[in-house]
């Protein structure tokens, strides 16, 4: 009997080189295609890792409702994992995030609670309040659970090092919870990979770059450790959206705004480092989840 299921197709994503966006004299830029995970984002690895770790430890019980705060991608990944495994799930998300996110979560059967758009962390405070009821709820806690970092350490980080034989000069990713950056940077550090680690964040607290946190001192994820970063670059909405559109038109890769911001910074890195060097950048999620937003031109 074939027992292969959707969870087995999480991870081992391809590493694709940019072609037309690279000019002579620039380093190569390799895109780690996390958008091609089955639910469409880098969060599939995180949810699978944390849920299965908790199942093995006995802290997640069959009657638990799995809850978390999410800007959308973790909620969508949780909907997929929970439906396959037979758990109920509930997600807190700010009202400002794209309508597609809400609809996809509804398809999975996830219960969605919308929180204020004025405070970029309103969904986190709401989830933490409910998480106190440990009898009925299992709190995934992507902002505080070390499993988030470890899923990228043993997944994204290890795969990138194996696929490039460790020959990486710069790594660029977005900072939401910091799971991707911390996990990959730790893997590099423990395996003697000397690449620069570059994080990106939105230039403003309220931003069109969904999924990333503007670090303004009000909230810092528990798993965050800035000492792993060599550079932390602020990106404007315009640059992120323009670059995401270019990525579709010039490279055939339709991804979301955070990927646009990451590629803009990865191209700067590639220009500075010059030919013969390698930059790895994360393609975080699929563009289709932003069809109703300014990413897609009207008309
Ligand atoms: N891009 C998008 C679209 C995201 O949803 C997230 C996660 N919120 C990130 C980037 C950043 O990932 P991480 O949480 O690992 O920092």
177 lines ligand 1 (CB under 6 A): yes
Domains along the sequence of the chain with CATH: 6-37+146-290 (3.40.50.1100), 43-139 (3.40.50.1100)
Which pLDDT belongs to residue 274? 98
Residue whose CA lies nearest to ligand 1 atom number 4:
211
CA distance 241 to 237: 6
Which ligand 1 atom is the nearest neighbour of the CA of 142? 14
CA distance 182 to 169: 17
- Indicate which residues carry an active-site annotation: 43, 258
Probe residue for ligand 1, chosen from 40, 144, 177 as the CB with the greatest number of ligand atoms within 8 Å: 177
Q: pTM for the whole thing?
A: 0.97
How is the chain classified by DSSP, letter by letter?
-----GGGGSS---EEE--TTPPTTPPEEEEE-GGGSTTSBTHHHHHHHHHHHHHHHT-S-TTPEEEEE-SSHHHHHHHHHHHHHT-EEEEEEETTS-HHHHHHHHHHT-EEEEE-SSSTTHHHHHHHHHTT-TTTEEE--TTT-HHHHHHHIIIIIHHHHHHHTT--SEEEEE-SSSHHHHHHHHHHHHTT---EEEEEEESSSS-SSTT-----SS---TT--GGG-SEEEEE-HHHHHHHHHHHHHHHS--B-HHHHHHHHHHHHHHHHH-TT-EEEEE--BBGGGGTTSTTSPP-
Task: pLDDT tens for the chain, 299 residues: list them.
Answer: 777 899 999 999 999 999 999 999 999 999 999 999 999 999 999 999 999 999 999 999 999 999 999 999 999 999 999 999 999 999 999 998 889 999 999 999 999 999 988 888 899 999 999 999 999 999 999 999 999 999 999 999 999 999 999 999 999 999 999 999 999 999 999 999 999 999 999 999 989 999 999 998 888 999 999 999 999 999 999 999 999 999 999 999 999 999 999 999 999 999 999 999 999 999 999 999 999 999 998 87
94 lines ligand 1 (CB under 6 A): no
- Rounded to the nearest angstrom, the distance between the alpha carbon of 204 and the centre of ligand 1 is 16
Which pLDDT belongs to residue 4? 87
212 lines ligand 1 (CB under 6 A): yes
Residue whose CA lies nearest to ligand 1 atom number 3:
211
285 lines ligand 1 (CB under 6 A): yes
């Amino acid at each position: 009997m074939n027992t292969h299921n959707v969870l087995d197709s999480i991870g081992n994503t391809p590493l694709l080189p940019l072609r037309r966006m690279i000019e002579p004299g620039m380093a190569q830029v390799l895109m780690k295609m996390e958008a091609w995970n089955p639910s469409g984002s880098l969060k599939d690895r995180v949810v699978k890792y944390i849920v299965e770790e908790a199942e093995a430890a006995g802290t997640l019980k069959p009657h638990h409702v799995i809850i978390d705060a999410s800007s959308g991608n973790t909620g969508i990944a949780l909907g997929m994992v929970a439906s396959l495994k037979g758990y109920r799930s509930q997600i807190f998300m700010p009202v400002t995030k794209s309508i597609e996110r809400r609809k996809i979560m509804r398809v999975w059967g996830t219960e969605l609670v919308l929180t204020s758009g004025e405070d970029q962390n309103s969904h986190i405070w709401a989830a933490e309040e409910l998480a106190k009821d440990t009898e009925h709820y299992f709190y995934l806690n992507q902002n505080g659970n070390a499993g988030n970092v470890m899923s990228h350490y043993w997944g994204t980080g290890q795969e990138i090092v194996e696929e490039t034989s460790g020959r990486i000069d710069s790594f660029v990713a977005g900072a939401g919870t910091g799971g991707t950056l911390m996990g990959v940077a730790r893997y590099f550090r423990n395996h003697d990979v000397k690449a620069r680690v570059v994080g990106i964040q939105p230039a403003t607290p309220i931003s069109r770059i969904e999924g990333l946190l503007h670090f303004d001192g009000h909230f810092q994820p528990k798993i965050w450790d800035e000492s792993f970063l060599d550079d932390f670059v602020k990106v404007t909405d315009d640059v992120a959206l323009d670059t995401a559109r270019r990525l579709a038109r010039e490279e055939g890769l339709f991804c979301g705004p955070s990927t646009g911001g990451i590629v803009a910074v990865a191209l700067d890195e590639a220009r500075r480092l010059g030919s013969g060097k390698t930059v790895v950048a994360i393609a975080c999620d699929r563009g289709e989840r932003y069809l109703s937003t300014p990413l897609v031109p009207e008309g």
